[in-house]
Amino acid sequence: MTGNDGTETTTDENDSTSSTTTTDTDGSGGDGTGDPTEVIDAYLAAAKNDDLDAMRDIVHSSSPMQNALAQDKVMFNISEGRTRGETEIVTKNGSVADIFKLKYASVQFDNSDLRNDIGDSDISLVTVELKKSGSDPKTNTWVLVTEGGEWRVFWVGEKNEVPENPETVFEEPIEDENASVVEEITYGDPREHTATVSLTDSPGIEANKIRVEATVSGYQAEFTGSWSGSWAVVTLNPTGDQIVVTAIQNGTEEVVHREHYKP
pLDDT at 231: 93
Alpha helices per DSSP H over 49-110: 52-58, 65-69, 96-99, 105-108
pLDDT of 5 strictly over 80: no
What residues contact 63, with CB distance under 8 A and at least 6 apart?
Answer: 145, 152, 153, 154, 155
Which has more pLDDT, 245 or 225? 245
Domain 12-158 has CATH 3.10.110: no
Range among 77-81, 157-161, 205-209, 218-222 rated most confident: 205-209
Type of residue numbered 148? G
Q: Give the pLDDT band (50/70/90) at residue 227.
A: very high
- Find which of 14-18, 93-97, 138-142, 247-251 is predicted with most confidence, using mean pLDDT: 247-251
pTM above 0.95? Answer: no
- Quick check: 242 and 214 in contact, CB under 8 A? yes
CA distance 262 to 241: 7
Specify the fold of 166-261: Immunoglobulin-like (2.60.40)
pLDDT digits (tens, 9 = 90+) for 126-153: 999 888 777 777 888 999 999 999 999 9
pLDDT of amino acid 104: 74
Beta bridge partners of 240: none
Rounded CA gap, 205 and 171, in Å? 23
Contacting residues for 29 by C-beta, under 8 A, at least 6 apart: 92, 93
Mean pLDDT of 99-118: 83
pLDDT at residue 17, as a whole number: 34
Per-residue pLDDT of 173-225, as tens digits, reads: 999 999 999 999 999 888 888 999 999 999 999 999 999 999 998 888 889 88
| DSSP code at position 251 | T
> Hey, what long-range contacts does 113-119 have (CB within 8 A, 24 or more apart)?
113/1, 117/62, 118/60, 118/62, 118/145, 118/154, 119/95
Contact 257, 181 (CB under 8 A): yes
pLDDT tens string 10-68: 223 333 333 333 333 333 334 555 688 899 999 988 888 889 999 999 999 999 999 88
Lowest mean pLDDT across 1-5, 12-16, 60-64, 101-105: 12-16
Q: Which helix (H) or strand (E) holds 39?
A: helix 36-48
pLDDT of residue 34: 67
Distance CA 2, CA 152 (A): 28
Domain extents in the chain: 12-158, 166-261
Question: How far is CA 34 from its chain centroid?
Answer: 26
3-class SS at 174? strand
In the prediction, which pLDDT does 87 show?
87
